[in-house]
Copies of this chain bind each other. A is one copy, B any other.
Amino acid sequence: MTVTTEAPSIFSTRESQVRSYSEQWPAVFDTAQGSWITDEGGRRYLDFFAGAGALNYGHNNPVLKSALVDYIMRDGITHGLDMSTVAKREFLEIFEKNILTPRGLDYKVQFPGPTGTNTVEAALKLARKVTGRESIINFTNAFHGMTLGALSVTGNSMKRAGAGIPLVHATPMPFDNYFGGATDDFQWMERVLDDSGSGMNRPAAVIVETVQGEGGVNVARVEWLKALAELCSSRGILLIVDDVQMGCGRTGPFFSFEVAGITPDIVTLSKSIGGYGMPMALTLFKPELDVWGSGEHNGTFRGNNPAFVTSAAAIDHYWSDDSFEKATLAKGERIHDSFIDLSTRFDGVSARGRGMVQGLVFADSEKAGKVASLAYENGLLAETSGPSDEVVKLLPPLTISEEDLLHGLDILADATAVVCS
């Protein structure tokens, strides 16, 4: 009998042990198209993870691909820092025309560095600079990023410990429904803000996700968001909506806060704003907050022009009318129906979500992990989230076909049945 020992891969010998998704999904992936991703052995996986929300338009979307390749072929500028470029102008124009103007928004646009954590840092810096206050209110189970400013408003204790310094200047408040309705919304937050003896530092801003993805698909109700906006506005506290994961149509409308009819003071966008999965981020804010000095916040890759090109193409193609939003909401309903069905069939299973971010919640968190593993074995990528990884979180491409969507939901339903029966 011969034993073949596989040589350790360069991933294990050379890459830091900090990597995580590759542990969970050990395949070596190669190509991708739409909702499908293919490993080097040719095995295909239906991708209900979509770059953690960075691929709302699917992998290598042909509309964007064509614009991108044209741009590269004609030697359009790739790297532009914050120089004015034709590509940036076209992005700004279509963003203004298709996104801002129809929604009555007059935000200034900052290109803060191309990732989610960069735009969160810019937002926090600006809020502090404008108000002259240091403290920020964040929410339980928030996720905003890994650089020190963003990490200080992130909830996860393992990730916080990575800072190596005490993270200060942020105070967590209970996110919507933290106590299952047992307590009035904002009972604690309103009281400590208004009690001059509470010991709470007066905050510059509140930072909130309308739906907490990493936190376990926790959906803030419309009335909670409205009340939060009112609470901030009446007390001179800036409201930052971090729409890095939930913006760009994930919940239906372009901005996730539209459903609540509120206008945040500052909005962060990244992930799917570039359209094609390339790094890009925006910080949007009301014009009166534009107190930056020239160059006061900068960054080498804030002018990633190929991403401007694919972003403009995506916004032009998908956001000229409300059909994309409607389709997303319909697909979201479809997922939700399937999840409701599962929660009816199996004890300890429940569902929550908004638009096309949907979570299947397991009372026994181990089961969520088993379902995700089994789904992977059966060709479906879906990650878990929540403080105990108790939620199977679906973020399929918004562009997914009905057929693929149903196929993926079937895989998930079968896995759930196996694990929960």
Q: Which of A9, A84, A182, A276 has the most CB of B within 10 A?
A: A84
Distance between A301 CB and nearest chain B CB, rounded to angstroms: 4
Q: Does A164 contact B (CB under 8 A)?
A: yes
Q: Is A121's CB under 8 angstroms from B141's CB?
A: no
A49-66 vs B, Cβ < 8 Å mask (1 yes, 0 no): 001111100011000010
A231-274 vs B, Cβ < 8 Å mask (1 yes, 0 no): 00000000000001000000000000000000000000011000
Q: Is A78's CB under 8 angstroms from B179's CB?
A: no
Per the bound structure, the CA–CA distance linking A11 and B83 in Å amounts to 10
Chain B residues closer than 8 Å to A60, beta-carbon distance? 72, 75, 78
Q: Which residue of B lies closest to A202 (CB)?
A: B157
A284-310 vs B, Cβ < 8 Å mask (1 yes, 0 no): 010000101111111111001010000
Q: Does A379 contact B (CB under 8 A)?
A: no
Within 8 A of B (CB), among A164-212: 164-172, 174, 178-179, 182-184, 187-188, 191-192, 195-202, 204
Q: Is B276's CB under 8 angstroms from A301's CB?
A: no
Q: Which 8 A-B pairs have the closest CB atoms?
A: A128-B164, A79-B277, A20-B295, A155-B199, A147-B147, A18-B292, A197-B387, A168-B168
Q: Does A278 contact B (CB under 8 A)?
A: yes
Q: Is B164's CB under 8 angstroms from A75's CB?
A: no
Q: Does A417 contact B (CB under 8 A)?
A: no
Distance between A360 CB and nearest chain B CB, rounded to angstroms: 19
Per the bound structure, the CA–CA distance linking A139 and B199 in Å amounts to 8
30 residue pairs of the A-B complex, CB under 8 angstroms, read A15-B92, A16-B283, A17-B294, A18-B293, A18-B298, A20-B298, A21-B82, A21-B83, A22-B84, A29-B77, A29-B86, A30-B85, A31-B74, A40-B86, A53-B300, A54-B301, A60-B78, A113-B115, A113-B117, A115-B300, A121-B148, A122-B146, A127-B164, A135-B166, A155-B199, A168-B168, A172-B192, A174-B191, A183-B187, A197-B386
Within 8 A of B (CB), among A81-125: 81-86, 88-89, 92-93, 96, 108-111, 113-118, 121-122, 124-125
